Amino acid sequence: MANQVALVNEALMQQLATVWAVFQGLLLEAIPFLLIGVAISSVAMAWDPRGKWLKKLPQGALTGPLSGALLGFALPACECGNVPVARRMIAVGAPLGTALGFLFAAPVLNPVVLLSTWAAFPDKPWLLLLRPAGSVLIALLLSGLLQLLCESDLLNGELLAERNLSQPLAKFSLLERRSGLIGEPLPQIKLLNEANKNGDFQPIQLLSHGVNEFLELGSLLLLGCGLAALIQTLIPRDLFLLLGQAPTLSIISAMLLALVVSVCSSVDAFLALGFAEQITPGALLAFLLLGPVIDLKSVSLLSRVFTWPALALVLAGVCLTVLVLGQALNLVLL
């Protein structure tokens, strides 16, 4: 009996040590990309503090998300890096569709990810076409869906308040902007918009903005990495791939795996290479489409952009779209 208890204890300690190591791996890999995203966000703030240029990005239902998606070619960051950039775009009043298009599609529509997809699957040229195309489609559909909500239901409270400050008074009254209320200091929002009279930021203000954004998002990234490490260490990965060649179930299992494994979009194709032969083509596409939009690691970061109900809508919308795309591919190829 004592031996059994000792064995269980030892197994538990091994599991915990492994969770701790996987957590460190995920975190140390993601932090440089978060820094890149925060740096781009800060540079964007310095370059265009009032959003003069960003507000001029296309606003159309199609052109907005498409132009946002194409921005990925200019700012090649994975999903950890582009959350702060998308937040900045939204905060300075850029068209919502453009910012959402960037948020959802840029992690795939960038040269690093496309090259790694091609390098991992040179024998599947259809994947090199369908991955970016599917990603753009997801961005279009999610942008359209989310813009049906009013901004107060869609955006995280702090981000919404900051966005409202950048809107013209014709659109929001002082009361709605919460910038004219006596006894309502809102120090955080004021700091982010504390440009001088010429609309410029001092370097130390940019540094302060960047450091505070890193602290906020970094602490959330920690939680996401911890959750992802815990689940993927304790639940056998084969469980996610058990459903192998069943057309629909294989897609669902690949989607679950993408949510749990939480690797960066620039290397997920190489990870998929390891099990590509065990699953259907639709499941492979689903794995490569879902992870860059949302996973356990990024969900806490996304909570700084969206309200929780809106985040649930993002999850439901992207899962449904990816499932349909995977099914369509299986119908054609199987």
Q: 166 vs 205, which CB is nearer to other proteins?
A: 205
| Nearest to 233, CA basis, from 80, 17, 31 | 17
Q: 67 vs 193, which CB is nearer to other proteins?
A: 193
Rg (CA), the chain: 21
The tokens describing 155, both together, are 């955006």
Least distance (Å) between residue 266 CB and other proteins? 8
Name 90's bridge partners. none
Least distance (Å) between residue 73 CB and other proteins? 21
- From the number of C-beta atoms within 10 Å of its C-beta (0-12, 13-18, 19+), residue 297 rates as buried
Neighbours of 275 (CB within 10 A): 18
Contact yes or no for 293/315 (Cβ under 8 A): no
Q: Does 211 bind other proteins (CB under 8 A)?
A: yes
Q: 116 vs 327, which CB is nearer to other proteins?
A: 116
Q: Which of 9, 15, 196, 245 binds other proteins (CB under 8 A)?
A: 15
**CA 166 to CA 49: how far, in whole Å?**
10
Q: Which among 104-112, 139-147, 187-195, 280-288 is the span making contact with other proteins, rule CB under 8 A?
A: 187-195
Least distance (Å) between residue 184 CB and other proteins? 16
Question: Letter for the amino acid at 182?
Answer: I
Q: Which among 82-90, 159-167, 175-183, 221-229 is the span making contact with other proteins, rule CB under 8 A?
A: 221-229
**CA 83 to CA 85: how far, in whole Å?**
5
Contact yes or no for 49/197 (Cβ under 8 A): no
Q: Which among 12-20, 63-71, 282-290, 315-323 is the span making contact with other proteins, rule CB under 8 A?
A: 12-20
Q: Which among 52-60, 85-93, 174-182, 231-239 is the span making contact with other proteins, rule CB under 8 A?
A: 231-239
Contact yes or no for 111/124 (Cβ under 8 A): no
Q: 242 vs 334, which CB is nearer to other proteins?
A: 242
**CA 127 to CA 43: how far, in whole Å?**
34
Least distance (Å) between residue 39 CB and other proteins? 9
Tell me how long the chain is: 334
Q: Which of 63, 147, 167, 208 binds other proteins (CB under 8 A)?
A: 208
Q: Does 152 bind other proteins (CB under 8 A)?
A: no
Q: Which among 44-52, 104-112, 215-223, 324-332 is the span making contact with other proteins, rule CB under 8 A?
A: 215-223
Neighbours of 294 (CB within 10 A): 22
Q: 81 vs 132, which CB is nearer to other proteins?
A: 81
**CA 193 to CA 213: how far, in whole Å?**
14
Give every CB contact of residue 38 below 8 A, 6+ residues apart in sequence.
84, 210, 213, 214, 217
Vertex 116: Cα angle to 115 and 118 (nearest 5): 65
Name 306's bridge partners. 155
Least distance (Å) between residue 149 CB and other proteins? 27
Scan residues 236-275 and list those touching other proteins (CB under 8 A): 236-238, 241, 261-264, 267, 270-271, 273-275
Scan residues 16-55 and list those touching other proteins (CB under 8 A): 17-18, 20-22, 24-26, 28-29, 31-32, 35
Q: How many amino acids of this chain bind other proteins (CB under 8 A)? A: 60
Contact yes or no for 266/231 (Cβ under 8 A): no
Least distance (Å) between residue 30 CB and other proteins? 9
Q: Contact positions toward other proteins, by CB under 8 A?
A: 11, 14-15, 17-18, 20-22, 24-26, 28-29, 31-32, 35, 122, 187-188, 190-191, 194, 202, 204-205, 207-208, 210-212, 214-216, 218-220, 222-223, 228-229, 232-233, 235-238, 241, 261-264, 267, 270-271, 273-278
